[in-house]
């Protein structure tokens, strides 16, 4: 009889272990899906085959529902993580409040829903996923997307190219070559982090080589600069935590690099522009910044509303016309995190970021991981795209929960 009970108990434990494994795999699958959504591949890749379609909007709805479902499963963990992510809770409340003064209520409401759903999901992920798990899933997801981009270039090159502006440029599974270079840079940094862990080293050495090849082939200067900064910072922090001698060497190398960078940027400015392929106005960015700054100064206290100005290129009375007049074209965003935040939500949003970077928030984040993630995600803090909703909050809440 005792033997029978032991067998039954063992079977129950096996079933419980199986169910737990299924649950963990399901959680990882949801995370990967959200990751693919925020890279925009869930929309851009089907659009390359079937063209623009309103059906693809269902991807965002599915992502929001998955976010809310996951939060419903982990309510206590989400609440605990929220205590460490209070600056972003405040940002979310300010976004909701901006509905009352935005110039495009529909865009602000939609953006607010996406931000709120993603923030709640980020809080749950921060409390339940370890950094190892997040980086591993990120690295594998991006590696698969890069392999798909290469496959498109070999099998169906026309599908893997940009169709509108810069037609013919290689963009892989993304709509723009800049996005290809950006995600290749992020994949390289994630692969480097996995390589330092010492697991499946040959896989990640190959991933680093593939990422470098794609960054160069994409001809995205921003991605090249971003990769250099990210690798440099990761290397410095790697040395910093390996003992006194390595810490000393790393500090002096960083100091010497900073000392050399100042005169190089001052006296070899034209040469740097030539090498980078940029013009003195940074490919029109200076004009964009001037227009965004002027528009933001008109409403410095409140801004124009979350995602309130970047859909008005066809409307002659839209605030975006101020930017178009300066830049002589319709930019997709401000090409500056701080200016984009300022023009959309006013100067109060800077208080949120101040607390995260310099105020009480600095007690909640782990510096090496903060630098690692912020380098590739430095394009914009509040860019007017759906990808924001499934992007930055996850990383910030992960840092905060570590410290909390």
Task: Give residue limits of the domains in the chain.
Answer: 14-403
- Note the pLDDT of residue 10: 58
Query: In DSSP terms, which residues pair with 170 in a beta bridge?
Result: 161
pLDDT above 80: residue 113: yes
- Note the pLDDT of residue 139: 92
Query: What mean pLDDT comes out for the span 329-347?
Result: 80
Q: Which of 35-44, 115-124, 231-240, 332-341 has the lowest mean pLDDT?
A: 231-240
CB 126 within 8 A of CB 189: no
pLDDT above 80: residue 293: yes
Q: Of the ranges 43-57, 144-158, 239-253, which is most confident?
A: 144-158
CA–CA distance, 115 with 24 (Å, rounded to integer): 25
Q: Which of 25-29, 197-201, 333-337 has the lowest mean pLDDT?
A: 333-337
pLDDT above 90: residue 244: no
pLDDT class for 140, splitting at 50, 70, 90?
very high
pLDDT class for 380, splitting at 50, 70, 90?
very low
- Note the pLDDT of residue 149: 93
CB 99 within 8 A of CB 105: yes
pLDDT above 60: residue 31: yes
pLDDT class for 100, splitting at 50, 70, 90?
very high
Neighbouring C-beta atoms of residue 63, cutoff 10 Å: 24
Neighbouring C-beta atoms of residue 232, cutoff 10 Å: 15
- Note the pLDDT of residue 272: 55
pLDDT above 60: residue 58: yes
- Note the pLDDT of residue 99: 92
pLDDT above 80: residue 275: no
CB 231 within 8 A of CB 187: no
pLDDT class for 203, splitting at 50, 70, 90?
very high
Neighbouring C-beta atoms of residue 346, cutoff 10 Å: 20
pTM (two decimals): 0.75
Q: Which of 11-25, 56-70, 273-287 has the lowest mean pLDDT?
A: 273-287
pLDDT above 50: residue 64: yes
pLDDT class for 147, splitting at 50, 70, 90?
very high
Neighbouring C-beta atoms of residue 67, cutoff 10 Å: 25
- Note the pLDDT of residue 271: 59
- Note the pLDDT of residue 141: 93
Query: In DSSP terms, which residues pair with 161 in a beta bridge?
Result: 170
pLDDT class for 400, splitting at 50, 70, 90?
very low
- Note the pLDDT of residue 145: 95
pLDDT class for 368, splitting at 50, 70, 90?
very low
Average pLDDT of every residue of the chain: 74
What's the number of CA atoms in the CB half-sphere (13 Å) around residue 373?
A: 19
Query: What mean pLDDT comes out for the span 35-53?
Result: 84
Neighbouring C-beta atoms of residue 332, cutoff 10 Å: 13
- Note the pLDDT of residue 331: 76
CA–CA distance, 168 with 109 (Å, rounded to integer): 36
Give the 3-state DSSP-derived string for the chain, with helices as H, strands as E and coil as C.
Answer: CHHHHHHHHHHHHHHHHHHHHHHHHHHHHHHHHHHHHHCCHHHHHHHHHHCCCHHHHHHHHHHHHHHHHHHHHCHHHHHHHHHHCHHHHHHHHHHHHHHHCCCCHHHHHHHHHHHHHHHHHHHHHHHHCCHHHHHHHHHHHHHHHHHHHHHHHHHCCCCCECCCCCCCCECCCCCCHHHHHHHHHHHHHHHHHHHHHCCCHHHHHHHHHHHHHHHHHHCCHHHHHHHHHHHHHHHHHHHHCCCHHHHHHHHHHHHHHHHHHHHHHHHCHHHHHHHHCCCCCCCCHHHHHHHHHHHHHHCCCCCCCCCCCCCCCCCCCCCHHHHHHHHCCCCCCCCCHHHHHHHHHCCHHHHHHHHHHCCHHHHHCCHHHHHHHHCCCCCCCCCCCHHHHHCHHHHHHHHHHHHC
- Note the pLDDT of residue 148: 94
Q: What residues have CB less than 8 Å from 381, skipping those under 6 apart?
A: 337, 338, 340, 341, 353, 392
pLDDT class for 53, splitting at 50, 70, 90?
confident
Higher pLDDT, 330 or 359: 330
Please report, for residues 64, 216, 305, 308, the alpha-carbon distance to residue 106 in angstroms, rounded to integers and kept in the order given: 17, 39, 11, 9
- Note the pLDDT of residue 401: 39
pLDDT above 80: residue 345: yes
Q: Write the burial class of residue 353 (CB in 10 Å: 0-12 exposed, 13-18 middle, 19+ buried).
A: middle
∠ CA 105-115-36, nearest 5°, is 120
pLDDT above 70: residue 255: no
Query: What mean pLDDT comes out for the span 237-254?
Result: 65
CB 338 within 8 A of CB 381: yes
pLDDT above 70: residue 315: no
Using a pLDDT cut of 90, give the percent of the chain over it.
7
Query: What mean pLDDT comes out for the span 69-84?
Result: 83
CA–CA distance, 327 with 335 (Å, rounded to integer): 12
Please report, for residues 231, 241, 250, 253, 371, the alpha-carbon distance to residue 244 in angstroms, rounded to integers and kept in the order given: 21, 8, 10, 14, 21
């Amino acid at each position: 009889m005792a033997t029978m009970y032991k067998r039954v108990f063992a079977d129950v434990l096996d079933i419980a272990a199986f169910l737990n494994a299924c649950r963990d795999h399901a959680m990882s699958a949801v995370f990967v899906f959200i990751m693919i959504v925020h890279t925009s591949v869930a929309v851009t890749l089907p659009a390359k085959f079937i063209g623009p379609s309103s059906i693809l909007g269902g991807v965002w709805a599915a992502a929001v529902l998955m976010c809310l479902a996951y939060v419903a499963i982990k309510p206590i963990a989400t609440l605990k993580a929220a205590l460490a992510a209070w600056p972003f809770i405040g940002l979310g409340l300010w976004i909701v409040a901006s509905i009352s003064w935005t110039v495009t209520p529909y865009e602000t409401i939609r953006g607010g829903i996406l931000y709120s759903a993603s923030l709640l999901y980020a809080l749950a992920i921060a409390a339940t996923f370890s950094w190892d798990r997040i980086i591993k899933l990120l690295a594998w997801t991006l590696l698969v997307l890069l392999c798909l981009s290469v496959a498109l270039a070999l099998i169906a090159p026309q599908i893997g190219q940009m169709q509108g502006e810069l037609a013919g440029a290689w963009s892989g599974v993304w709509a723009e070559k800049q996005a290809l270079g950006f995600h290749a840079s992020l994949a390289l940094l994630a692969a480097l982090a996995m390589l330092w862990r010492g697991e499946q080293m040959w896989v990640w050495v190959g991933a680093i080589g593939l990422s470098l090849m794609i960054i160069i082939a994409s001809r995205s200067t921003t991605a090249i600069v971003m990769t250099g900064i990210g690798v440099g910072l990761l290397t410095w922090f790697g040395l910093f935590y390996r003992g006194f001698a390595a810490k000393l060497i790393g500090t002096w190398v960083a100091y010497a690099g900073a000392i050399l960078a100042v005169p190089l940027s001052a006296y070899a400015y034209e040469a740097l522009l030539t090498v980078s392929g940029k013009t003195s106005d940074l490919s029109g960015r200076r004009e964009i910044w001037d227009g965004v700054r002027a528009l933001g100064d008109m409403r410095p206290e409140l801004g124009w509303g979350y995602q309130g100005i970047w859909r008005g290129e066809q409307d002659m009375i839209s605030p975006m016309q101020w930017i178009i007049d300066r830049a002589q074209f319709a930019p997709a965003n401000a090409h500056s995190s701080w200016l984009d935040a300022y023009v959309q939500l006013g100067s109060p949003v800077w208080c949120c970021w101040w607390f995260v970077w310099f105020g009480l928030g600095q007690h909640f984040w782990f510096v090496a991981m903060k630098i690692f993630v912020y380098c590739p995600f430095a394009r914009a803090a509040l860019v007017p795209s759906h990808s924001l909703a499934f992007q930055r909050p996850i990383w910030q809440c992960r840092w905060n929960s570590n410290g909390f």
